[in-house]
Amino acid sequence: MKILLPPSEGKAPSPGRGSPVKLSSLSLPELTATRSELITALTKLCQGPRAKAVSTLGLTPGLAREVEKNAQLLTAPAIAAGSLYSGVLYEALDLASLSTTAASRAGNELLIFSALFGAVHINDRIPSYRLSPTTKLPQLGTLAAQWKAPLLEAMEREVDTQVVLDLRSGPYAALWKPTGAMAKQTVAVRVLHESAPGKRTSVSHFNKATKGRIVAGLLKQRSSPNSVEALASALAKAGWDVESDESGLKLDVIVQQL
């Protein structure tokens, strides 16, 4: 199984020292050239006029300091991606609390999608950065266009015949869309709050926390689902109220409490 996660805007403080990112050591080597091109473009932007960088990146005044962070991407200390992201989903997932077995599965099964790095495993070491998937870097156009071909190649090899649980948000889902056989083995999940019988609404903030708990629960099970049907069963086994469409590729997780 592969579990696709979005990154988070919240990130752990950068360590004061440590080795910088080594692009050739990251997972999914098919993405190396695009990673290098985007990092070059982003650092060049952020080493230039500050106002242009702030405007291009869509930063608020309170986040303007992120420009300096992006300007030092190739020299800043890198840390494991699973430790870098600190948003709601990752707080609920709580990778540090996993058993050795579950942590080993997490290292193999979790893929974090990133506007800058494409997709990485949780043990890949990357620097802190700021880049939205909707940003258009100078002379490069949309990031979805930049990632389309390299991610298609990389994900075909990475996924192969495994079932995929896609928990990405819309902008990150646009970076790679499964096609052909992969589309038939990729399951999307949405979280619905049932406040009263028959009254359901989508949730936002708590959607992320629920997804984090879903992933933790799956990783703690004794085996990894090897089919769409087995994935739905694994979620139910973990205690979630799950409803599926006819294809089995769209699952609703129903929660009564937030």
CA distance 62 to 59: 8
Q: How many domains does the chain have?
A: 1
CA distance 188 to 244: 10
Q: Burial level of 60, CB count in 10 A (0-12/13-18/19+)?
A: exposed
Domain residue limits at 22: 2-255
- Amino acid found at 109: E
DSSP codes joined into one string, 201-233 = EE-SHHHHHHHHHHHHHHHTSSS---SHHHHHH
CA distance 142 to 254: 35
DSSP secondary structure code for residue 98 in this structure: S
- pLDDT at res. 243: 92
Which stretch of DSSP H or E encloses residue 126?
Answer: strand 125-126
- pLDDT at res. 173: 95
The mean pLDDT values, 10 residues at a time, for the chain of 258 residues are: 96 88 97 98 96 94 90 96 96 97 97 98 97 94 95 96 95 95 94 80 81 96 92 92 91 82
- pLDDT at res. 46: 97
Q: Global pTM?
A: 0.94
Whether 141 and 134 have beta carbons less than 8 Å apart is answered as: no
Distances (CA, A) of 123 to 76, 103, 137: 17, 10, 27
- pLDDT at res. 14: 81
Q: How many residues does the chain have?
A: 258
Whether 222 and 112 have beta carbons less than 8 Å apart is answered as: no
